[in-house]
Amino acid sequence: MTSLPTRKIGPFTVSAIGLGCMNLSHAYLPKPDLGVAERLLCHALDMGVTFFDTAALYGFGANEELLGRTLMHRRGEFTLASKCVLAEIDGKRGLDGSPAAITRVLEDSLRRLKVDHIDLYYLHRLDARVPIEESVGALARAVEAGKIGAIGLSEMSATTLRRAYAVHPIAAMQTEYAPWVRNPEIAVLDACAQLGVGFVAFSPVGRGLLAGSPHAATVAQGDVRHAMPRFQPPHLAANLALAGRLAALAKEAGGTAAQLCLAWLLAKGDHVVPIPGTTSAAHLEENLATLSRAWPAALIAAVDALFPFDAASGPRYPREAQAQVDTETWAGEPLA
């Protein structure tokens, strides 16, 4: 097993780049076959990745089952993270942050993952019908019962983080963060640093578009990106042009666009851990190679300059998904 540079997420020491496991079972097309997914997970562990992120929502439990079947014979080698609140309800994606639902989903996650303890367990989204104190309280009781090790939040604001933290220490905030999504810089990134909360950046390469993925540029019906405004005309052409300029910066520096996105995130603070997802062993190795070289401050600043807050064209979520997001928005941000 290779050793990678590490960072702290709450009480956990994890590889500075983790693995987002969602697209092995959920959301993006084409989906890999099970053999490819299993080999990718094992290869990530062999390459030194020690932070694996899943959720009850992904594949309506299939992703947790995949990790449970594939990795748990090496359980002591990595930090395991999963999520509740968003899950399958009556055969569809549903949102329920009630303590009863959280307890039920956690038990299902433990069973699918084949474990009796999950290291880091997130509230996947804010359920506005339930006070955050009640949802966090349910997870605090799970900590006391030894079923989870630490509590995380996802796509929530600095205000919500502070309310949650008043109930129980929060180990991590997970939010979309990439050059074209800089909302965490409004308030929550600093709040995490002040409170000692790790920041986990999902979709760090723009759901593939900033990394030049052909699948991101021509998304098919059934791919979650098909409904996202930034992947639809007229926004797509402008965003592809932006991605092209990022790729040119990376090439001039001797790297790839994906590596430059990850390097940019790592430079945002020692408490930031990106979790790119991939179905490709080659792309996994490319991502991890980001950690093996220095990235000049001037290059990071050039990415900042290329991506002001309003650089991307179009809202990042369709209307229904945006309604479940609690993160701060910048003045004038287009919302679905």
204-224 tens-digit pLDDT: 999 999 999 998 999 999 999
The pLDDT score that the predictor gives to residue 304 is: 98
**Separation CA 282–CA 296 (nearest Å):** 25
CATH class of the 9-205+268-294 domain in this structure: alpha beta
Place of tokens 């009556």: 90
Tell me: pLDDT of 336 over 80. Answer: no
Q: Say yes or no to pLDDT of 1 above 80.
A: no
Confidence of residue 194 (pLDDT cuts 50, 70, 90): very high
Give the mean model confidence (pLDDT) for residues 102-128. Answer: 98
Tokens in use for 35?
């053999």
pLDDT at 92: 86
Question: Are residues 175 and 202 in contact, defined by beta-carbon separation less than 8 angstroms?
Answer: yes
Give the predicted TM-score (pTM) of the model: 0.97
Confidence of residue 89 (pLDDT cuts 50, 70, 90): confident
Interval 4-55: pLDDT, tens = 999 999 999 999 999 999 999 999 999 999 999 999 999 999 999 999 999 9
pLDDT of residue 76: 97
In the chain, what are the domain boundaries? 9-205+268-294
What is the tens place of the pLDDT at every residue in 128-137?
Answer: 999 999 999 9
User: What percent of the chain lies above the pLDDT cut of 70?
Assistant: 100
Which alpha helices (H) appear in the chain, and where do they start and end?
34-46, 62-70, 99-113, 132-144, 158-167, 188-195, 214-217, 235-252, 257-266, 281-289, 297-306, 319-322
pLDDT of residue 283: 98
Judge whether 216 and 207 are in contact, CB under 8 Å.
yes
Q: What pLDDT band is residue 153 in, cutting at 50, 70 and 90?
A: very high
- Greatest alpha-carbon pair distance for the chain in Å reads 53
Secondary structure (DSSP) of 155-212: S--HHHHHHHHHHS---EEEEE-BTTB-GGGTTHHHHHHHHT-EEEEESTTGGGGGGT
Nearest one of 117, 2, 3, 122 to 56, comparing CA atoms: 122
Average pLDDT in the chain: 97
CA dihedral 108, 96, 184, 260 (to 10 degrees): 40
Measured between alpha carbons, how far is 203 from 309 in angstroms, rounded to an integer? 17
Active site residues: 58
The reported pLDDT for the residue numbered 240 is 97
